[in-house]
């Protein structure tokens, strides 16, 4: 077992929560937004790409050096070159990070085809060497792993779980789908439950945790130490507070749509907005609205109309019509998954 310990929970009496790292989404600015509405216990950076010519990405590094969320942040790496992963891990340990996280779950084909991210799950022997070297390099703070239950099937799943134990990994974030599943199909929560029983470290259950009620169900089903929420925190940044309410047995507080409109304004005020071309700004906001829409109307009218807008004025006027028309309306406590 590792001698280092995880940073304390925001609420020690409750299971852990974490915002899942999402490339080009969960940057420093978005972490600040999430923290405004009710922070998770932990944050993870977007991944630092690691290869023989890589240097620490300054934009991603800002999430560490300018972290004013009040919550610990783990630095995530993606790569397969052992000397360069070790070099990068040591560089990252010079900063105020909670620990170093290895990405073994990214399902993007352009990533896994390079045998990194989720592609590493095809090579347990390589994973063994990587984790062994990283454990030696990262010996004064947590070393964590984010992974999926397999690449195309679960053939290597238990072998890699045993490697998690062998190298005293301090926290495992486990998405209950394979790499090839991407974000489709049922999540194999039974395999997350198996991992909880097999590994020595805490496990965060990840995958389609779309509401506070779902988080409570997944925790009960898996016995995990907590949950990691990604896309659904984009659509509902209040979800971590709602999860804590559910775990305490409290009534979940619904969010008025007018507050959602304020959230959209906050997203719109990203520091890079002024330098982005108009089309890019519209696309940036639509990326978030794709998730928000699923909690707004089950019929999908807002989603359809939003995707048809082409200018800032059209998009923001539509948001006004939808979110400010009836001040009694609230964001759904769970998304409509049928639209």
CA distance 5 to 2: 8
pLDDT for the residue 339: 42
CA distance 202 to 172: 6
What DSSP state is assigned to residue 250?
P
pLDDT for the residue 13: 95
Phi and psi dihedrals of 313, rounded to 5? -60, -45
Helix (H, G, I), strand (E, B) or coil at 179: coil
| Assigned token pair, 130 | 């990587």
Phi and psi dihedrals of 39, rounded to 5? -70, 155
Residue 139's CB is within 10 A of a number of other CB atoms, namely 13
CA distance 8 to 163: 25
Say which residues have a Cβ less than 8 Å from residue 172's Cβ, sequence separation at least 6: 144, 145, 146, 147, 164, 195, 199, 201, 202, 203, 204
CA distance 289 to 263: 11
Residue 333 half-sphere exposure toward CB, CA atoms < 13 A: 13
CA distance 105 to 107: 6
Pick the catalytic residue from 93, 106, 201, 319: 106
Residue 10's CB is within 10 A of a number of other CB atoms, namely 18
Beta strands 226-229; 16-19: pairing state: parallel
Rg (CA), the chain: 20
Smallest Cα–Cα separation from 238: which of 225, 256, 250? 256
Phi and psi dihedrals of 149, rounded to 5? -80, 0
E strands, 219-301, where? Answer: 226-229
**Cβ-contact 78, 117 below 8 angstroms:** yes
Residue 229's Cα: distance from chain center in Å? Answer: 5
Q: pTM score, two decimals?
A: 0.95
pLDDT along the chain (339 residues), means of 10: 81 97 93 96 98 97 96 98 98 98 97 97 98 97 98 97 98 98 96 98 97 97 98 96 97 96 92 77 92 89 95 95 94 77
Cα end-to-end span (Å), the chain: 46
319 a catalytic residue: no
Q: Alpha helix (H) ranges present in 66-147?
A: 82-92, 109-112, 124-137
pLDDT for the residue 108: 96
Q: Can you count the helices (H) and strands (E) in the chain? A: 14, 9
């Amino acid at each position: 077992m590792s001698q280092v310990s995880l940073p304390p929970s925001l609420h020690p009496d409750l299971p852990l929560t974490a915002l899942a790292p999402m490339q080009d989404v969960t940057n420093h600015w978005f972490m600040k937004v999430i923290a405004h509405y009710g922070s998770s216990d932990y944050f993870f950076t977007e991944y630092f790409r690691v290869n023989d010519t890589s240097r620490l990405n300054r934009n991603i590094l800002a999430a560490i050096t300018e972290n004013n969320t009040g919550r610990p942040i783990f630095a995530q790496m993606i790569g397969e070159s052992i000397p360069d992963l070790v070099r990068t891990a040591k560089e990252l340990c010079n900063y105020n990070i909670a620990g170093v996280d290895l990405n073994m779950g990214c399902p993007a084909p352009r990533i896994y085809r390079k045998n990194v991210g989720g592609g590493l799950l095809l090579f347990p022997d390589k994973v063994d060497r990587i984790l062994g070297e990283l454990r030696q390099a990262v010996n004064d703070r947590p070393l964590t792993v984010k992974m999926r239950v397999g690449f195309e099937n679960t053939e290597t799943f238990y072998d890699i779980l045993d490697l998690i134990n062998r190298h005293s990994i301090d926290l495992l974030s486990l998405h209950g789908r394979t790499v090839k599943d991407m974000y489709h199909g049922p999540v194999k929560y039974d395999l997350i439950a198996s991992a909880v029983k097999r590994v020595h470290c805490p496990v965060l259950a990840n995958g389609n945790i779309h509401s506070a009620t779902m988080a409570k169900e997944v925790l009960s089903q898996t016995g995990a130490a907590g949950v990691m929420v990604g896309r659904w925190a984009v659509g509902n940044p209040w979800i971590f507070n709602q999860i804590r309410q559910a775990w305490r047995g409290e009534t979940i507080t619904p969010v008025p749509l007018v507050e959602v409109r304020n959230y959209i304004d906050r997203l719109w005020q990203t520091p890079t907005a002024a330098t982005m071309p108009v089309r890019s700004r519209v696309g940036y906001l639509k990326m978030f609205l794709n998730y928000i829409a699923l909690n707004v109307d089950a019929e999908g009218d807002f989603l359809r109309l939003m995707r048809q807008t082409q200018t800032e004025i059209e998009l923001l006027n539509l948001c006004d019509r939808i979110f400010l028309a009836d001040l009694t309306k609230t964001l759904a406590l769970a998304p409509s998954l049928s639209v």
